[in-house]
Structure 1
Amino acid sequence: MEHLNNRAVPVFRCDTAEFPMELQLSATLGEDGWTGVLDNGHRSLDLAHVRSVYFRRPEEFRLPDER
């Protein structure tokens, strides 16, 4: 993170385990790639601007309790 920040590279960090409770995804896949937004309640990411992904230590996502 420090190296990316020093180089003014925009970073969006999120925990995939927060999906769908705290991490929201609204996206479609078209002929030109992904369009949409990933939002964690603090920041949002336009998927069209994603250039790379670093996927580390994935955890299981949590679903809401059935009531």
Structure 2
Amino acid sequence: MDLSDARWRKAARSNSSGGDCVEVADNLVGVIAVRDSKDPSGPVLAFDPAAWRSFLELAKRH
């Protein structure tokens, strides 16, 4: 997966002290990418947009 054009942003609910941060790139066609901000060259989780929306809806309920 080519992530060279990914625009990463820190998730709104991430810890403000610099730890436990998740970054999301939602500007890519057909994929939402998620990574750990402490390891930007590490592994990336990729979701199709429908699965990402379902995840967010479920997370907001809990």
The two structures have a TM-score, normalised by structure 2, of 0.32
Name the larger-Rg structure: 1
The TM-score, its normalising length taken from structure 1, stands at: 0.31
More helix by share: 2
Structure having greater relative contact order (Cα 8 Å, sep ≥ 6) = 1
